[in-house]
Amino acid sequence: MNSQQPALIIAGTHSGCGKTTVTLGLMAALKQRGLMVQPFKCGPDFIDPTLHLLITEQVSRNLDVRMCGPAYVQHLFATHAVTHAPLAENPPAQGIAIIEGVMGLFDGGQGSAATLARLLNIPVLLVVDVRSAAESVAAVVKGFEILDPQVEVAGVIFNRVGSERHVQMISHAVRQHCQAEIIGALPRENKIALPSRHLGLHTGPEVALNRQSLVELIEEHLDVDLLLKVAQQVKVKPVVYSQEDTEQVAGVARLSDPIKVRLGVAQDEAFCFYYQDNLDMLAKAGAELIFFSPLHDATLPDTLDGLYLGGGYPELYAETLAANTSMRGAIRAFSSSGKPVYAECGGFMYLTKGIVTADKEEYPMVGVYPVRSRMQQGLRRLGYRQVEMQTNTPLGLAGNCCYGHEFHYSTIDTMPSAIQRGYVLDDGRAEGYLKDNTLAGYVHLHWGKTPEAVQYFVYIMQHVRTL
């Protein structure tokens, strides 16, 4: 990356400070100015990238140092962060990379936005919720500036200010004590709100965002020219890979196979949580991705060699999924055939005997696993996971490891001992339920650290086809 390739990490002092609204507004404003905006998301979140795509019309990719490792993150960012990109006008418009942080800037240890900023040497724009505070905001900003000298807090945005006098008091204190440029202040009542539910915000296709209102909010209250100047403060760091890092990145790069397989991928309103890089790696390894909808299609596409059922919100569409008996029967028969199936979180719930909603309504599902999944009032599991295969599975041989993240509000009945446990989690729980070459569990896996899992999944699809 060079000085002509600006980039920013939009971070917050804490969760709920408004960084997603700021991020989307900046993306919309910069795009309207004619820049090609390449979005990224720090961490494992599936939802924010769909909002980024809605605004920028560019696929947003997850940069997660903890889950994928520093080498993969550096490789991914270098591959997709744009220098220049042609738009409708000539000459080509400049590009900018915008990375939305996760939680507070320093929250999450190795998975934090601070770790990412330090790794990529990208300046941070700090969003501060200033409700019920004035001069004390300077102490907050100063603390974020000096906590880690390797993380450059280059700019600050005051969010939810109450009046012009409020802005003046805060700005005076920050200018007196802090180094960060003041990019601007957003009013408390800006009439832009993002709806949320139990797994977070609504996804991009479900949100009716007023793009022009976002642009007007940003252009009226923020100094976008100053922000672009701050974004130019990217400093090149030479990437030095260890031998292990080199092998990992090389493994991603050489994913290829001349023999094609057809992989059915469930994708609709109920199943929408996929890491784009997983899909890209599968395609590069030889899988033709055939998308289908368990909600809307009557049956599976023809001549599939495998199935991939991602996460999402099957509990919100349980009645419609249950009513689609032909699709449920087709997936049950496909699983029984011995062809490889991989399902995670919402996809796993769909493969159980039924879903019991938070209102205690029960809806029948595919029935591969003889248990029900039951929605709970509170969060059941949250955190990064390492899984180790206990036997040969569609994703690898016994002893192989994969990495991912777990986040769900449902739980399952006790799985019968007759159903084999395909892997064990690093917290000691046995999961990864294996039946008839179908592997399913709650963990969302990212294969950036383990491209061999992708290669093996495609190999199994090829092998079963030839039997």
Per-residue CA distances from 208 to 19, 211, 249 (Å): 18, 9, 38
CATH code for the domain in which residue 18 is found: 3.40.50.300
Q: Is the pLDDT of residue 419 over 70?
A: yes
Structure tokens at 46: 């599936």
Query: In whole angstroms, what is the distance from residue 45 CA to residue 317 CA?
Result: 21
Domain boundary at 180, 196, 231, which? 231
Q: Do 199 and 301 sit in the same domain of this protein?
A: no
Through-space distance between the first and last CA atoms of the chain, rounded to whole angstroms: 49
Whether 238 is in a domain gets the answer no
User: Do residue 343 and residue 453 come from a single domain?
Assistant: yes
Regarding whether 324 and 224 lie in a shared domain, the answer is: no
Q: What is the mean pLDDT of the chain?
A: 90
Q: Exactly one of 17, 345, 401, 402 is catalytic; which is it?
A: 345
Count: domains in the chain: 2
Range 449-452, long-range pairs (CB < 8 A, 24+ positions): 449/67, 449/68, 449/69, 449/72, 449/248, 449/402, 449/403, 450/396, 450/400, 450/401, 450/402, 450/403, 451/248, 451/251, 451/252, 451/255, 451/281, 452/251, 452/396, 452/400
- 81 versus 113: which is more confidently predicted? 113
Confirm whether 345 is a catalytic residue.
Answer: yes
Round to whole Å and give the CA distance between 454 and 226.
43
**251 in a domain, yes or no?**
no
381: domain range?
A: 257-466
Task: Report yes or no on 247 lying in a domain.
Answer: no
Q: Which of 236-250, 259-273, 319-333, 354-368 has the lowest mean pLDDT?
A: 236-250
Q: How far apart are CA 368 and CA 350, in angstroms?
A: 9
Asked if residue 252 belongs to a domain, the reply is: no
If asked whether residues 347 and 312 sit together in one domain, one would say yes
pLDDT at 240: 61
Q: Do residues 340 and 221 both lie within one domain?
A: no
Strand 271-273 versus strand 311-312 pairing type: antiparallel
Span 35-88, pLDDT tens digits: 999 999 999 999 899 999 999 999 999 999 999 999 999 999 999 986 544 444
Query: Has residue 241 been placed in a domain?
Result: no
**Could you tell me if residue 246 is inside a domain?**
no
272 and 386 belong to one structural domain: yes
pTM for the full model? 0.88
Same domain, 41 and 169: yes
Based on the domain organization, do 47 and 110 belong to the same domain? Answer: yes
Which of the listed residues 215, 231, 247 is the one where a domain comes to its end?
Answer: 231
Q: To the nearest whole percent, how much of the chain has pLDDT over 70?
A: 87
What DSSP string describes 355-386? EE-TTS-EEE---SEEEEEEE-SS--EEEEEE
3 state DSSP class of 191: coil
Q: What is the pLDDT of residues 208-229, one digit of tens each?
A: 567 888 999 999 999 999 999 9
Confidence class for position 253, pLDDT limits 50, 70, 90: low
Lowest-confidence segment of 75-89, 159-173, 316-330, 399-413 by average pLDDT = 75-89
Residue 150, both tokens: 């390797």
- Residue recorded with tokens 């591959």: 79
Residue 236 lies in a domain: no
pLDDT at 84: 45
Residue 256 pLDDT level (bands cut at 50, 70, 90): low
Q: Which residues have CB under 8 Å from 90's CB, separation 6+? A: none
Asked whether residue 146 falls in the same domain as residue 50, the answer is: yes
Residue 461 located in a structural domain: yes
- 244 CB-near residues (< 8 Å, 6+ apart): none
More confident residue, 239 or 310: 310
- Whether residue 125 is found in the same domain as residue 261: no
Amino acid at 154: A
Regarding whether 283 and 175 lie in a shared domain, the answer is no
